[in-house]
Structure 1
């Protein structure tokens, strides 16, 4: 082997090792965390000023982001980082403006920094694997490790991995599994994503590992008591199948589906006739006590429809929690608005919501329409579409968007970038040393 060829092989091996390390490190940082099995019985969980982060967590996040950025800037496909840049610049600039003029500007600025870091990491994440099989292998191993932590907690740390009646915030969740996650709902969402991963792993790396992931994820999901996520798992699989097979239904499924879902959910809380109609169908018109929150959020949105109350500057602020408003409604103590679209409008106004919808709904639809026939029905495209559909529908009942440390937000964003790559790039099919002009490694 010539000296040049040896150097190229060594550089490729180094890139493979570094990519594998960064992929697994970031996956486990988000899906397991450095502080699993959180105690929910302490009074600190009721303090709105008590953050969920700590110094070590912040340092690790900065180091991981620096490593990801360094890897991305040296990658031949570095042009994809933080795309679409014009739209993201407009979106985050608007978020910054609404934060500066709000009562809590630093909360907004901190949230913008964390969200930008997460978006940066997600835009580089799919450049780390050397091939689609490598991607599936790392995804499968990481998911199995996550499931190991979840089941270990249930078996050996039940007081910290299963909701207890002694918890101060939601004692009614006693007996429901949460594993190493802070809440049953976050555990349920993670298990839905894990099931999607398992289906992909089963087809692209190991059938045994994939089946184990799907079975373990579903069993855990059922025991979380997360009714919404449990129902949405088969629903999204069906929707994704229809979305893939029937092109003419794609816009109605996404635009019409998300619109109607939010209309029936949030609208039933605001418009009494619609709420009575929903109740008449045998559906819980309060959507698990979210109706009070949505009514309160709508009244607050009406006060500032253009600029909102500032990014991250409304829920759980001291003025709101300690305002004495609990006499009128318990919603003032809510952790969030339990609807991502409503929360974005509430905190950044309708312009912020419009920019968000363009990035998360309109552009993915356009990218999917541009995917070539050879990749349109691939297992990889199917994975990204399932993640995307689940998140935009699930966002109608939970606040997910722009959450800096959220594994669901991160997974959603790298799925958006995956759809963008699928629309404009070819998959690696040859050995890594073969030069290609534009290759999406994952």
Structure 2
């Protein structure tokens, strides 16, 4: 009889191990697959030859909504099974208040239908990224998943350059920006988007290298750096060096207020010398003295128009993601017709104010600027100060700086927004839980 019991226990144990192995495969495949989807979308290698203005990367496809809706259910279910406590920590006053205000802006939107539709995808993406960082059971597992995803993305992009250069490199025949001819974009719709993601992949490579996978880390750094150079993303390349330089000083600066000054001063300066230059002649004069294009490649006209429009609805904005390309832009004066075709204002902070008003901008700064830095400080003081925390800090800081030149905050499934959220939630969890090796 004891032999039968022992055999039954062995079979039960074997079945349990098999189920756990299946769940491990599901978790890993979900993490890697979702990360690659967030980076390259459902429509990689899009042809730019027959696109109209504003077509690239709009994120309006039904399939995108359906896939991210399904992924939000899957990833949250896996996270609840794996670490329900982590998800519960997201019900903080700051997150709840920010989410509530976004709902208010939908109700008060000039185009509620568009706002509801776009907010629904944004919520799905937020849920996916919040849950995704809870799927790995250890830092070792997370490192291997990030390594596989980074190498897969690089392989996809380089294969595109070799096998389908007309879909991976900007061409002189592209109707929108023929001046970008020769710049690499890989699987992405624009070289600037490719450059920003390659900077993130480079940070991942540094993390992998410091975590012990020397060969994989070095390969990721080399391949991402080469692609970044050939994409000619000057803003991303410059900001990459700035972020690496500033974050290298963190080990010598321990006080939170000093770290805030070092890391956030460039963010303030970027906005003052860009949008501020449109608002103040004194700042404009300083901007003209600097060794770069004082119009920021024509962005000053967009900022001036956006600021003028914002003045009419400072409190509530025009509604979540419902200003550009909507009925809010009409009866344009001569010389401003381009505004009817613009996709965004090339500044995430300004676009947030346009959509959600100054209260929304203040809450976004609290949730995406102040709290992540405080979370890094808490993680550092709690012993979670290894390569993972530094990688997340770099991705977060790069996203903050880049948002002074580009606009991806709250932008549904935009790759930079997707990756930025991973860093924000990763720092949130590291501040509250001890990461297993």
Shared topology, TM-score over 0.5?
Answer: yes
Q: Does 1:144 align with 2:174?
A: no
SS of corresponding position for 1:46: coil
Give per-residue Cα distances to partners, 1:55-82, cap 9 Å, x unaligned.
4333322222221121122223344257
**Residue in structure 2 matching 1:266, options 262, 275, 281:** 275
**Residue in structure 2 matching 1:23, options 15, 23, 31:** 31
Residue number in structure 2 paired with 1:405:
413
Residue number in structure 2 paired with 1:229:
236
| Aligned-residue offset at 1:221 | 0.7
Q: Does 1:281 align with 2:318?
A: no
| Aligned-residue offset at 1:268 | 1.5
SS of corresponding position for 2:48: coil
Residue number in structure 1 paired with 2:3:
none
Q: Does 1:310 align with 2:319?
A: yes
Residue number in structure 2 paired with 1:56:
63
Give per-residue Cα distances to partners, 1:405-440, cap 9 Å, x unaligned.
1222122112112112222212223xxxxxxxxxxx
Q: Does 1:111 align with 2:113?
A: no
- Paired residues for 1:34-433 under 5 Å: 34-43=42-51, 45-46=52-53, 52-80=59-87, 83-248=90-255, 249-317=258-326, 320=329, 323-325=331-333, 327-328=335-336, 330-373=338-381, 375-429=383-437
SS of corresponding position for 2:47: coil
Runs of 5+ consecutive residues of structure 1 not aligned to the other structure: 430-442
| Aligned-residue offset at 1:220 | 0.7
State whether residues 81 and 123 of structure 1, in contact with CA within 8 Å, keep that contact through their aligned partners in structure 2: no
State whether residues 276 and 285 of structure 1, in contact with CA within 8 Å, keep that contact through their aligned partners in structure 2: no
| Aligned-residue offset at 1:257 | 3.0
Report the RMSD for the aligned CA atoms in angstroms.
Answer: 2.2
State whether residues 46 and 169 of structure 1, in contact with CA within 8 Å, keep that contact through their aligned partners in structure 2: yes
Distance 1:87 1:196 in 2: 28
State whether residues 57 and 414 of structure 2, in contact with CA within 8 Å, keep that contact through their aligned partners in structure 1: no
**With structure 1 as the length reference, what TM-score do the two structures score?**
0.90
Residue number in structure 2 paired with 1:436:
none
State whether residues 72 and 78 of structure 1, in contact with CA within 8 Å, keep that contact through their aligned partners in structure 2: no
Distance 2:195 2:241 in 1: 14
Give per-residue Cα distances to partners, 1:156-175, cap 9 Å, x unaligned.
21111111122222222112
State whether residues 325 and 332 of structure 1, in contact with CA within 8 Å, keep that contact through their aligned partners in structure 2: no
- Name which of structure 1's ranges 308-317 and 272-281 shifts more when overlaid on structure 2: 272-281
Give per-residue Cα distances to partners, 1:193-224, cap 9 Å, x unaligned.
00001111112252111111111111111111
Distance 2:186 2:102 in 1: 34
| Aligned-residue offset at 1:398 | 0.7
Residue number in structure 2 paired with 1:433:
none
Distance 1:17 1:147 in 2: 22
1:50/1:274 CA distance change after superposition, 3 Å? closer
State whether residues 82 and 135 of structure 2, in contact with CA within 8 Å, keep that contact through their aligned partners in structure 1: no
1:56/1:308 CA distance change after superposition, 3 Å? closer
Distance 1:278 1:228 in 2: 16
| Aligned-residue offset at 1:293 | 0.7
Give per-residue Cα distances to partners, 1:282-318, cap 9 Å, x unaligned.
2321112111111111101111100111111111226
SS of corresponding position for 1:12: helix
Distance 1:293 1:47 in 2: 15
State whether residues 81 and 124 of structure 1, in contact with CA within 8 Å, keep that contact through their aligned partners in structure 2: no
| Aligned-residue offset at 1:49 | 11
Distance 1:231 1:50 in 2: 24
1:325/1:24 CA distance change after superposition, 3 Å? farther
State whether residues 172 and 179 of structure 2, in contact with CA within 8 Å, keep that contact through their aligned partners in structure 1: yes
- Name which of structure 1's ranges 174-183 and 368-377 shifts more when overlaid on structure 2: 368-377
State whether residues 158 and 186 of structure 2, in contact with CA within 8 Å, keep that contact through their aligned partners in structure 1: yes
State whether residues 292 and 329 of structure 1, in contact with CA within 8 Å, keep that contact through their aligned partners in structure 2: no
SS of corresponding position for 2:33: helix
Distance 1:252 1:49 in 2: 37
| Aligned-residue offset at 1:255 | 3.9
SS of corresponding position for 1:21: helix
State whether residues 48 and 318 of structure 1, in contact with CA within 8 Å, keep that contact through their aligned partners in structure 2: no
Distance 1:122 1:190 in 2: 16
